[in-house]
Structure 1
Amino acid sequence: ADVLNNPQQYGLETPAEVITLIKETEPRREVKLNVGDTSPGAEKAVIYVTSSDRKEVMAVKKSELDNVKKPLVEFRSRELLSSATGDIQEFALSEHSKNKVVKGPVELKKSGEDRWVYVQPPYGDAQDKGANPAGNDQPPDNVEAVLTDISNLKVENTKDFIQDDAADLGKYHLDPAKNDVLRIEVERTESINTDEKGEKKRQTKKIALLVGISEKVGEKKDQYYAYIDDPKHKDIVALSANSVARLLKLVDKPDALRDRNLVALGGFRKPDALDIQNSYGLLEFRRTGPSSPPPGGASSQETWKLWRGDKVYTVDPATVQALINALTAPNQVKGFVDDPAKKKELGMDKPDAVVRIWIDSLPAEEKKDEKKDEKKDGSKEDKKEDKKEKKPEPKDKDKPAFTLSFGRLYEGHVAVQRQRGDEKTSTVVLAPSTVRDQVFQGPLAYLDKQLPPFNADRFDAVKNVTKLTLTRDGVTYEISRENKPEAPWKIDKPADFAGRTADRTAMETILRDLNDLRAVRIEADKTPEAPKLAEWGLDKPSLKAVVTLTQDNKPKTFEFDFGKETSDKSGVYLRTSLLDMIVVAGNNVVGDLKRELHDPTVFHFDAGKVQEVKLTGWLALQKPLGKNTPLTLTFKRTKGGSGWEVEPKDAIKLQPSRLDDFLKNLSDLKAVRFVAHKAKPSADQELDVDKGALRIELTVAEDKGPRKLTLTVGKEDGSFGYFAISDQLAGDIFDVRKDLFDKVKEKPAYFSGQ
């Protein structure tokens, strides 16, 4: 039915309930809602109302105004100080007794996006974030936990609104003249407005909660009485005793929130400039950009450079990152030093080292204009002047984010004075001595240990290399090849081996090692005087490599001198023409340089072209038969090439597959290792058929005529195989695989399938 505009008819002439809403902030506004009768029914029932804005009678669904019928206490805010942790800009805790402050105050304020500092006591920075303590018997160890506890201070139930406008505070253990009272005061954000200049202005308000902690109350004695400090009202509430337990512990131990990070960067900020002043002088590190992404698409490291005066060095990014990690490791502060006398005792007035850290401070790199490098006629200059690389400087050079001054060691820790920006205050902390070790390192520890390659293509060390000269143990080996990718390496020196083929794998391994050298450490950043070179064995190196690179018929050499082994056995001293430094090279490189250079190939032929196989040996089987000479078996390929004839004919019944497999193994036979070069077999190697050896003689058909090949297999040489000699490797004694000859040496019947 239509609603008549008759307030009296609907109980609105003198309404039973009037709801007044007041907006206190400017512009101030007040509205009223007059609540009248309710129509019969349930689901379709309505409540008749008028308002200060609309005088005519209106019908509103009862369900939309159900809350109006609730008791007034249901509308009261249960939050006491702040509903959101982010609104709290400052807090102070203090315990009062008989109108005196007996503990505290513990007062902290927000000093940046991720920074809180102590106001009282003057402890400096506070720990911003961390893990909450496990129980209520410990104080919170970070500001975030405190803010959470404060924002959780709430009235849990409507029955906990105890008394409005209380006159007798003593009744609720809140009389400051008689009772112990905890005061919790916060400054919280009320609004954030934008001014005429477009700048945001934060409007804040201070509010305090007083908690009577002399006696627990409630049915379970697990609550305290409390009220908001308001000169107009003293509205008493009851809140959980547990909700203030950790805050009470913090008042007992004010230093629980002290920043235990030596350096807290905050967020995703990164250092881009570091200065270290230590016994080696001033080391200035600057981040110069990300490095090229490594294979596999993993995240790339940042690149850094080190300046010492006007000299600039490429540094190892991992070493710089290790320094940053050491300075920024979380929770590494083990103690604090507040006594001025103790600070002086620990050398804070004359620090042994000072580290300055700037964060995201370097200006963006300017893009280079290639046209500037061109002449007016459009051609590029043939010769450019060498320009020293300019050191980038932080925007606020005199205002580093952190200054760390390192003093003396104390009970296994190092004293460090931490100062932020250009602030006058500082904090002295005790940090692990390992941090001191990092800071006290000299410049050599940071230099890039990756040596420059002689070949521009680091992953193809052999490209354009035409010669390798190795001097080791007083013997010089000169190995060369044509400048073609598949050209074989040939030994030119020593003269005794001239013309012999060198081992391709060995050559590639050596060149790859030299082209991708990474030092164990840098020993000196310049070539030292002669006495030091002699001490390191670099005046007359016992091991020397010279690589010749030929491009456009212009050879260029690169030298590597290897000296003595270091005292710690980590490697050997190395001087190279690639840079003016002395480094320590790993022992693995020396091992590769001393490896066998000769091609281990003994035979290489087509097994299908073998025309005759002559085997002489098995002396041990002949002696029981009264014969003192070795047995000789000859296998000749038949004219059709499909089979073999055996001489003597009645010696064995040949199983052709056994002979074919044996020849296949011989067709690409390689030495397991070389025992000696330019040597004659000794008696104990038993390389004489009259002493038990097996001699294998092959005739292979080739275009230029039959080719004769000979191999003599002697005594077993431990786990290496059998001693052997061959006419193809004249003067060499080497080992061949044991499994290839075991059964053949045992008895000739092997070829008959036995």
Structure 2
Amino acid sequence: MNFKTTYFLFGLLALMFLALAVSLFLTPPEATRAGYLFPSMHVEGTKLETDAIDRITIERKSPSASTIVAEKDGKNWRIVQPKTMAADKASLESLLFNLRGAKFDAEAKTPSWSSAGLNAPSRIITLEGSKRKFVLTIGEVTEGEDRGYAYAESSERKGQVLTIRKTDIRTALEELPHFRGKELLGDTTDINRLKLALGKKTPLELKRDKGIWSFVSPTAFGEAEPTDVLTILAGLNITHVDEKNSDFVKDGETDLAKYNLDPAQADVLRIEVWHDQSQAAAVVGTSKKEGEKYFAAIDDPTSKTRDIVKVAAGNVDKIVKWLDDPSSLRNKNLVKLQGNPDAVDVTNTFGLLEFRHADPVGDWKLYRGSSPGKVDPLEVRKLIDGLNRKDQVTGFPDPSKRKELGIDRPDAVVVKVWADSLEKPEAGKTERPVFKKDAKPVAELRFGLIQGDSVAVERKWGDVTSLVLVPKELLATVQQRPLDYYDRNVPPFNSGSAEENVIRVEIVRPGESYEVAREKATGPWKIVKPDALKGRTANEEVLRSLLSDLNRIMAKEIVAEKADPMDLAKDYDLEKPPLRVVITQTKDGKEVKQSFDFGKEKPGKGVYAKLGDNPAIYVVDSAVTAATKKDLRDPTVLAFEMDAVSSVTFSGWQKVVGSVLTRKIDRKGTTWETSDKDIKLDTDKVENLIRSLTRLQAEKFVPAGKGLAYTEGSFQVQITLNDKRVLTLKVGAEEGSAAYAESSELKGETVMIRADLFSGPRSAPAYFTK
């Protein structure tokens, strides 16, 4: 081999590598393997989404030639060929989605170019956008929906016969009706004016200004509620399944009478709508149905012909009914909030009440002057819900009756409602919220006189004013006092535990006074007053209940912000209250007192109360004072640990044996024994009785010595503890389910305890034997 041959072979190899590199660059391998018809749409750097396409051309070559061209029109599409008409946005976007995602079947047997029909293609689809063009040339399409195939060539796979499942590009095989707009009047969501006319009926015309719909005709009908109208107009759809099942009847028709659309020969419903920058009109032949449908057409004054379609009769019939009774479209809402209510002004006999809610996560405030008051959110919600209740208007009085209905009275209640109107306050600031620039009320209401079960109201929405009737209960709501809105939760004296830092509690009634105290905020409570009980341990459960009830008072009613001194005695009995509770706490090293005064009862409600320095008069639940009526003495009769008992001595049974009998029982390890070896002791009964006395509580205190003179049936228990302390319990007569008793722990006191604990033990000495 000579050098020339060697150079030639190396040169040939270099060219092969160059060709491979170019191929890899022009056709990315990952896209090629993916099998997309247009691989560049999916590769980083050249990726293209369907919304970048702004022109679609479908050239049908056979069986007859026709061309469809659709172009982007803002966010929508419009067909511009074979003539200008509305396009079905969903169908065109489905076409783009299908073509972008379509793949060819790399495993399918590939026919020849001519066998694939690509010598004489059936249609050519061109997509254009972002200065790029994508062309799909379709040849033969086999029969069968699910198993059919289409053979095609892609502009990105030149010279290749691609076998594509028919279902993957079904939309690309559709004809013009599939892509035409199916809504008779197009998109109805942005309509700002509409007019309905039919024969000699009074035309119905509505307009929208700043979000508020009102009647243009009839002129005196005020605000309108066109939701149903817009829904029905959106429902005037043209159905198209295929050529045999289509509501596209005929294009370019001149003989309108043939389809009941000639107004000179039949009643024709005309629907006209205005958008911000366009308007559209349609006519419907309502004089005769075609099955369950009417013939209709877009009413284009620039064209001498009409494209005839069919629409469902049900929706059209509803429109005709509105022309027969336009009052059915009058707005029956008193207030219709489309945002978040954040300001309400109520002017009534109590003055101006300004409710503000500037911070969405904060609370409503009621301003009367410059200072805010905390309100009950449920009461404010009741006010707003009452105003905003759907369809609560019951009638529309004659506007000429305005004076007769009391709308112009100087003392009329006036309500103004705003939504999304306040500037957000700065963090930590408590100043009155300010309105945003140009903020205006959503509604202004002026309440007149009651008319039967209703009340007359002048409703003003923007520049549109109407007289309406609403249920009279709403008048009572807007007439409420400021006090009815205030938060009825009385501020607690402790934010945590009610007992925290409380060192003294005084309960004062005419002629008697109780006082309990503790040296430390966590120490035991001792009775200080009255003197007869001084030094006794106090009932911690009663004190805990009392403090808890006072710390979480929720008023049932606020009857006065500040009572006249004369009224304190006359109306509420609070000048010298029949019950006063004074709590003393330590805060920052100082003693702080807070008083709770409770007056006379308000029938069916509770008791009047004045709380601390707050000048307001409340009505609170009578249960708040329940603990003050309980005995403050510690009800513990006996308290010891079972393991600490060394012996027990029972004395009694005089009625049974003729004299007092005493029996001592000693603990021996885990069992019990008596010195009399002839007695077979039932240790379980001994154990059970002693255990029942470890935390014996009095049911109530009674006069000292009462019921203890019952000598024949009396019974005494003496418990000796390991530390040599001796506890004594004497049980006297029974009364009902209780028995009188006294103990060494409650010196000088007589109490009532459970009688059933001793009915067996004191019946006979044999009770404790087997």
TM above 0.5, yes or no, is yes
Higher mean displacement: 120-129 or 516-525:
120-129
TM-score, normalising length: structure 2: 0.75
1:382 matched to which residue of 2? none
Shift in alpha-carbon separation, 1:24–1:444, aligned structure 2, 3 A: closer
Q: Is the 8 A contact 1:288 1:305 kept in 2?
A: no
In structure 2, what is the Cα distance between the partners aligned to 1:578 and 1:162? 84
Question: Is 2:665 aligned against 1:633?
Answer: no
1:297 matched to which residue of 2? none
Question: Is 2:294 aligned against 1:224?
Answer: yes
Shift in alpha-carbon separation, 1:424–1:644, aligned structure 2, 3 A: closer
Shift in alpha-carbon separation, 1:336–1:646, aligned structure 2, 3 A: same
1:722 pairs with one of 739, 746, 753:
739
In structure 1, what is the Cα distance between the partners aligned to 2:235 and 2:136? 46
1:125 matched to which residue of 2? 223
2:473 matched to which residue of 1? 434
In structure 2, what is the Cα distance between the partners aligned to 1:445 and 1:68? 65
In structure 2, what is the Cα distance between the partners aligned to 1:237 and 1:520? 67
Question: Is 2:713 aligned against 1:692?
Answer: yes
How far did 1:691 drift? 4.9
How far did 1:587 drift? 1.2
How far did 1:724 drift? 2.9
1:275 counterpart letter in structure 2: D
Instruction: Deviation per CA, 1:236-291: give whole Å up to 9, x if none.
Output: 3333322412222222222333333322212xx22222111011111111225466
In structure 2, what is the Cα distance between the partners aligned to 1:649 and 1:392? 91
How far did 1:149 drift? 2.5
How far did 1:563 drift? 0.4
2:204 pairs with one of 97, 106, 111:
106
1:296 matched to which residue of 2? none
2:453 matched to which residue of 1? 412
How far did 1:424 drift? 3.0
How far did 1:492 drift? 0.6
2:400 matched to which residue of 1? 341
Shift in alpha-carbon separation, 1:395–1:554, aligned structure 2, 3 A: same
1:86 matched to which residue of 2? 189
In structure 2, what is the Cα distance between the partners aligned to 1:43 and 1:90? 53
Per the alignment, in what secondary structure is the counterpart of residue 744 of structure 1?
coil
Shift in alpha-carbon separation, 1:59–1:328, aligned structure 2, 3 A: closer
1:557 counterpart letter in structure 2: K
Per the alignment, in what secondary structure is the counterpart of residue 297 of structure 2?
strand
Shift in alpha-carbon separation, 1:738–1:319, aligned structure 2, 3 A: farther
1:211 matched to which residue of 2? 284
Question: Is 2:679 aligned against 1:655?
Answer: no
In structure 2, what is the Cα distance between the partners aligned to 1:22 and 1:321? 52
Instruction: Deviation per CA, 1:293-326: give whole Å up to 9, x if none.
Output: xxxxxxxxx4122222244322222221222222
Question: Is 2:767 aligned against 1:707?
Answer: no
Instruction: Deviation per CA, 1:29-69: give whole Å up to 9, x if none.
Output: 9899xxxxx9963566642899999xxx9975355899999
2:341 matched to which residue of 1? 271
Instruction: Deviation per CA, 1:110-168: give whole Å up to 9, x if none.
Output: 4456x543333343333365xxxxxxxxxxxx345334324x25577756544554444
Q: Is the 8 A contact 1:31 1:51 kept in 2?
A: no
Aligned residues: 642
In structure 2, what is the Cα distance between the partners aligned to 1:107 and 1:85? 15
1:736 matched to which residue of 2? 753
In structure 1, what is the Cα distance between the partners aligned to 2:73 and 2:378? 57
How far did 1:230 drift? 2.4
How far did 1:494 drift? 0.3
1:581 counterpart letter in structure 2: A
1:546 matched to which residue of 2? 582
Per the alignment, in what secondary structure is the counterpart of residue 633 of structure 2?
coil
Q: Is the 8 A contact 1:450 1:516 kept in 2?
A: yes
How far did 1:444 drift? 0.6
Per the alignment, in what secondary structure is the counterpart of residue 435 of structure 2?
coil
How far did 1:609 drift? 3.6
Q: Is the 8 A contact 2:537 2:633 kept in 1?
A: yes
Q: Is the 8 A contact 1:712 1:724 kept in 2?
A: yes
2:517 counterpart letter in structure 1: S
In structure 1, what is the Cα distance between the partners aligned to 2:558 and 2:616? 7
Shift in alpha-carbon separation, 1:21–1:576, aligned structure 2, 3 A: closer
Question: Is 2:231 aligned against 1:145?
Answer: yes
In structure 2, what is the Cα distance between the partners aligned to 1:69 and 1:535? 87
TM-score, normalising length: structure 1: 0.76
Instruction: Deviation per CA, 1:624-666: give whole Å up to 9, x if none.
Output: xxx3x4x42322426x66654547775x531223212211211
Question: Is 2:352 aligned against 1:282?
Answer: yes
Instruction: Deviation per CA, 1:688-718: give whole Å up to 9, x if none.
Output: 342533332333343xx53342231431434
Q: Is the 8 A contact 1:542 1:563 kept in 2?
A: yes
1:498 matched to which residue of 2? 534
* Percent of aligned pairs with the same amino acid: 34
In structure 2, what is the Cα distance between the partners aligned to 1:22 and 1:591? 83
1:470 matched to which residue of 2? 507
Higher mean displacement: 152-161 or 235-244:
152-161
2:524 pairs with one of 470, 483, 488:
488
Per the alignment, in what secondary structure is the counterpart of residue 337 of structure 1?
coil
Higher mean displacement: 739-748 or 318-327:
739-748
How far did 1:223 drift? 2.8
In structure 2, what is the Cα distance between the partners aligned to 1:69 and 1:504? 86
Structure 2: runs of 5 or more not aligned: 1-59, 83-111, 129-134, 142-149, 153-168
1:308 counterpart letter in structure 2: R
Per the alignment, in what secondary structure is the counterpart of residue 711 of structure 2?
helix
In structure 2, what is the Cα distance between the partners aligned to 1:399 and 1:50? 58
Q: Which has the higher contact order (CA 8 A, sep 6+)?
A: 1
Instruction: Deviation per CA, 1:212-236: give whole Å up to 9, x if none.
Output: 222223xxx4332322222321333
Q: Is the 8 A contact 2:397 2:467 kept in 1?
A: yes
How far did 1:451 drift? 1.5
How far did 1:460 drift? 1.4
1:61 pairs with one of 139, 143, 160:
139
1:298 matched to which residue of 2? none
Q: Is the 8 A contact 2:68 2:79 kept in 1?
A: no
Shift in alpha-carbon separation, 1:18–1:168, aligned structure 2, 3 A: closer
2:166 matched to which residue of 1? none
In structure 1, what is the Cα distance between the partners aligned to 2:647 and 2:171? 116
Q: Is the 8 A contact 1:116 1:143 kept in 2?
A: no
1:445 pairs with one of 477, 481, 484:
484
1:309 matched to which residue of 2? 369
Shift in alpha-carbon separation, 1:492–1:44, aligned structure 2, 3 A: same
Shift in alpha-carbon separation, 1:237–1:366, aligned structure 2, 3 A: closer
1:566 matched to which residue of 2? 602
How far did 1:489 drift? 0.2
Higher mean displacement: 66-75 or 278-287:
66-75
Shift in alpha-carbon separation, 1:571–1:23, aligned structure 2, 3 A: closer
Per the alignment, in what secondary structure is the counterpart of residue 126 of structure 1?
coil
1:184 matched to which residue of 2? 271
Q: Is the 8 A contact 1:717 1:735 kept in 2?
A: no
Question: Is 2:700 aligned against 1:674?
Answer: yes
1:354 counterpart letter in structure 2: V
In structure 1, what is the Cα distance between the partners aligned to 2:599 and 2:655? 52
Per the alignment, in what secondary structure is the counterpart of residue 306 of structure 2?
coil
Shift in alpha-carbon separation, 1:82–1:603, aligned structure 2, 3 A: same
1:751 counterpart letter in structure 2: F
Shift in alpha-carbon separation, 1:427–1:619, aligned structure 2, 3 A: farther
Shift in alpha-carbon separation, 1:20–1:660, aligned structure 2, 3 A: closer
Shift in alpha-carbon separation, 1:419–1:71, aligned structure 2, 3 A: closer
In structure 2, what is the Cα distance between the partners aligned to 1:264 and 1:68? 44
2:558 pairs with one of 506, 522, 531:
522
In structure 1, what is the Cα distance between the partners aligned to 2:172 and 2:592? 98
Shift in alpha-carbon separation, 1:20–1:163, aligned structure 2, 3 A: closer
Question: Is 2:278 aligned against 1:251?
Answer: no
How far did 1:741 drift? 3.0
